[in-house]
């Protein structure tokens, strides 16, 4: 079975990453979600990534704050797409996590999204777009979702529009 794997560096990331999981539920995309740290549990992280890949993980999403090395560590263990979600907080409000996630060495790519909740949601959509390359049903659901988003903008506008 194909699925998306969500890893986060600590329990404090769970509330934000549940946003990602909710998107997968909405689209009926199988996912797993675990806590594993690049620094505090590197052996667990490596064992999980290799085992998940063998079981069918097609995309990895890694959420971490501060030094935020989780996505990079995962990228070093797999050739599957890795999406990094920098977490907010800390002294720099998440900027440290953003820079740690996006500044990867050549040949170790991590697709990096926005800090926090928006990044969590966008990581789910990006993962689904990757999966949709080989899944016409999911591609259709994503297209329908875009149509609904556009309609919702029109409905929101109709509530406040003043036109001459």
Q: Give the pLDDT means over successive 10-residue stretches in the chain (164 positions).
A: 96 97 98 97 98 98 94 98 95 94 95 98 98 98 98 95 90
- Give the range of the structural domain holding residue 37, as residue numbers without chain letter: 3-135
Residue 147 lies in a domain: no
Count of structural domains, the chain: 1
CATH assignment at residue 122: 3.40.50.1970
9 part of a folded domain: yes
pTM given for the model? 0.95
pLDDT in the model for residue 67: 86
pLDDT in tens, 69-86: 999 999 999 999 999 999
Rounded CA separation 21/104 (Å): 26
40 in a known ligand binding site: yes
What is the C-alpha separation between 49 and 57, in angstroms, rounded? 9
Q: Is 84 exposed, middle or buried (0-12, 13-18, 19+ CB in 10 A)?
A: buried
């Amino acid at each position: 079975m194909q699925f998306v794997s969500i890893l986060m560096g600590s329990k404090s990331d769970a509330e934000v990453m549940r946003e990602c999981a909710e998107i997968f539920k909405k689209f009926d995309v199988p996912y797993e979600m675990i806590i594993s740290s690049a620094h505090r549990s590197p052996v667990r992280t490596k064992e999980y990534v290799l085992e998940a890949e063998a079981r069918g993980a097609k995309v990895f999403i890694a959420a971490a704050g501060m030094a935020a090395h989780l996505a990079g560590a995962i990228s070093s263990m797999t050739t599957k797409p890795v999406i990094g979600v920098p977490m907010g907080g800390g002294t720099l409000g998440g900027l440290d996590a953003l820079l740690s996630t996006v500044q990867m060495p050549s040949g170790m790519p991590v697709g990096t999204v926005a800090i926090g909740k928006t990044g969590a949601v966008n990581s789910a959509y990006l993962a689904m777009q990757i999966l949709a390359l080989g899944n016409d049903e999911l591609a259709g659901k994503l297209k329908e979702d875009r149509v609904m988003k556009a309609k919702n903008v029109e409905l929101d506008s109709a509530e406040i529009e003043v036109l001459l």
